[in-house]
Structure 1
Amino acid sequence: MRTKNPEYFSLLEKFIDDYYEANGGSPTVREISEGTSLSIATISRYLNYMKENGMIKYEGHRNIITRQLAQSRTQSVKVPVLGAVSCGIPMFVEENIEEYVRLPVALFGKGDFFILRANGESMIEAGIDHGDLVLIRRQNYAQSGQIVVALMENEATLKRFFPEPQQQRFRLHPENSQMNDIYVDECIIQGIAVKVLKDLE
């Protein structure tokens, strides 16, 4: 077996990591060749060697996982981005998954999460503006005062939750001083808002 050039290992791993970060997927052998100026035969030989020696996971076309990628995957959670949720008049939410995103565990913690797109202006005084992405921890209970996704007769809304057991009802409070509270006899908690993901102007 030919002697392997250790610089090629580093070159290949760096190119694959950089490509994945920029494009969200692995490069092809041809793309690696174009980006590193190594021949396709050399790249194939090195990738197979790296696979056999546990340096990468290589399952063929656009399926190369370096050690850095493998580590980042174990330290992140895969979260679905669902449809919009009303921050005004309650509206029906269909669980159509638009895409998946990976969130770092160090910043967001572990759990069963989903992301909803805020629709409306009823939560603007809580820092949730129209179009913001809201990270929701999926659970069917809430403490008084928490911001929840509440389902009422197939309509969902994002509001601050206040149970009123003496009146046998729930108060859903908009964080907008121009809007009134919503009172319901029943509602199903679908999750708790934990973070807002937004662009800064």
Structure 2
Amino acid sequence: MLTRKQHELLRFIQVRLEESGVSPSFEEMKDALDLKSKSGVHRLISALEERGFIRRLPNRARALEVLRQPDDVTNKAPAPVAPREAPVALRPAPRAPEPANDVIEIPLHGRIAAGVPIEAIEGQSMLPVPAALLGSGDHYALEVSGDSMIEAGILDGDLALVKRTDTARDGEIVVALIRGEEATLKYLRRDGPKVRLDPANAAYEAQIYGAEEVQVQGKLAGILRRYH
């Protein structure tokens, strides 16, 4: 069962697709649902996507497809269909979804610094990010400090886009909180009762801890780089 806002958004997307063949922009969805920011739209879309009601078409920031309607809609009797008129001329095919520069805002917490847990880094600002760079789920951003991940293409000053989660598979790059005090961006490896945090720089050694000493606070979803 969908929430009222999820139901309203699903219906709005469906109507716009039927009318124009193009899904609405994040700004249009925000205004239609009377939301304060586009991040709320992103959360609703992610929830609908995870539950199988819509999907994002690849390589297009503004392309959404409605896969199904809620049971309380699909179980109703279909609306009467008007008699078909004789065709007069071929109608043009619906326009293909056009790329758009939809962005969402995610918290930018600051630099990953030794001795400072993620919870202690207050959100200093909001970072606008192209929606196409983020999948489903809740995200935040951190500024990378140091060169321990340069061989993975992650440089000092890069902005790490992190999906908030407390689980990750071996080999994934995660934000790990060590002993509740120090946050670091490293490859995660498990070795029996131990957890190994591997850098991507031959000049650094792996860090090994007991499993109870390491808490995953997110996994890397992408990198943004500013050129000055």
* TM-score normalized by the length of structure 2: 0.52
What's 1:81 paired with? 108
Which residue identity lines up with residue 189 of structure 2 in the other structure?
Answer: F
CA change 1:76–1:111 in 2 (3 A) is farther
Query: Once superposed, what is the RMSD of the aligned Cα atoms?
Result: 2.1
Give the structure with the larger strand fraction.
Answer: 1
Decide which of 204, 208, 211 is 1:183's aligned counterpart: 208
1:3-152 mapped onto 2 (5 Å cutoff):
69-71=27-29, 73=38, 74=41, 76-86=103-113, 90-93=114-117, 94-152=120-178
Q: Which runs of 5+ in 2 are unaligned?
A: 1-24, 31-37, 42-101
| CA deviation after TM superposition for structure 1 residue 104, in Å | 3.1
Decide whether aligned partners of structure 1 residues 106 and 68 sit closer, same or farther in structure 2, where only a CA change above 3 A counts.
closer
Change (3 A) 1:79 1:170: same
How high is the sequence identity, in percent, across the aligned residues?
32
- 1:113-153 per-residue CA deviation (whole Å, 9 max, x = no partner) reads 00000011101111111111000000001100000111112
8 Å Cα contact 1:85-1:91 kept in structure 2: no
What is the 5 A alignment of 1:167-182? 168-182=193-207
Runs of at least 4 residues off by over 2 Å: 67-78, 101-107
CA–CA separation in structure 2 for the residues paired with 1:106 and 1:76: 8
Instruction: String of CA shifts for 1:134-193, please: whole Å, max 9, x gaps.
Output: 00000001100000111112111111000111xx11000010001100000120000001
Aligned length: 130
Hey, which of these two has a bigger chunk of helix by percent?
A: 1
| Code of the aligned partner of 1:193 | L
